Amino acid sequence: MTLSRAFAAVRFIFGAVTLIAVGTQLGIHLGEGYSIVNFFSYFTNLSNIFAAVVLLVESVLTWRGKEGGPAWALLRCISVVCMALVGIVFNTLLRDVDLGSLLPWINTWLHYVMPVAVVADWLIQPPRHSIPLKRVGVAALFPLAYLAYSLIRGAAINWYAYPFINPANGGYGTVAVTCVLIAVGFVAMTLLIMFLGNKLRPLVPKVLLPVSR
């Protein structure tokens, strides 16, 4: 097996295990009578599913010696930033929060292993297409939309996925400051990830497929 195909296999494993972890926790969540909408309202779950799908697609592309275009490079960049944000926010704001029925191995995988793995994947194999830094506005749409959804839905049903966006914990002023800090952090992280992706060169060579005649 070539290095590129071994790398593709590793990507596939990480993506598959992540989907298994999320699916397992979803089964526990539903088995205890919790809302499926609430489950998919956690940024951690959405980001991990997003990153897992990206890794699975990347594994197929790498195995076949192909690569996505500029739009795919931007999409992949967004998944990397989201996972970096998951790791940072969890370790700074949520480490001591009661995680309820979340299994320890799933917690470790989603909040520690995957953020590190996805960022490492980007650094080891950045896209060959440069991403203009001006596209940072496009990348910021996902977290901003998530924050808006969380605040609007939370106010409507009095349920918030995370305590730092719950106005009951310090009022709307505190929530607003927290959201601004997260948004600024996301933009800064996006610019950094884009910059590194544009400067670094892939360490794993592409598979050269035989040309059919």
Where do the domains of the chain lie? 3-199
Distance CA 103, CA 77 (A): 29
> Residues 78-81: contacts with CB within 8 Å, 24+ apart?
78/50, 78/139, 78/142, 78/190, 79/47, 79/50, 79/51, 79/54, 79/118, 80/51, 80/118, 80/119, 80/121, 80/122, 80/193, 81/139, 81/186, 81/189, 81/190, 81/193
Q: Give the pLDDT confidence score for residue 206 in this predicted structure.
A: 66
Mean pLDDT for 6-21 is: 96
List, for residues 104-126, the tens digit of each pLDDT value: 999 999 999 999 999 999 999 99
Q: Average of pLDDT values for 176-184?
A: 89
Q: Which two tokens stand for residue 66?
A: 């192909």
Q: Cα separation of 120 and 104, whole Å?
A: 23
pTM: 0.91
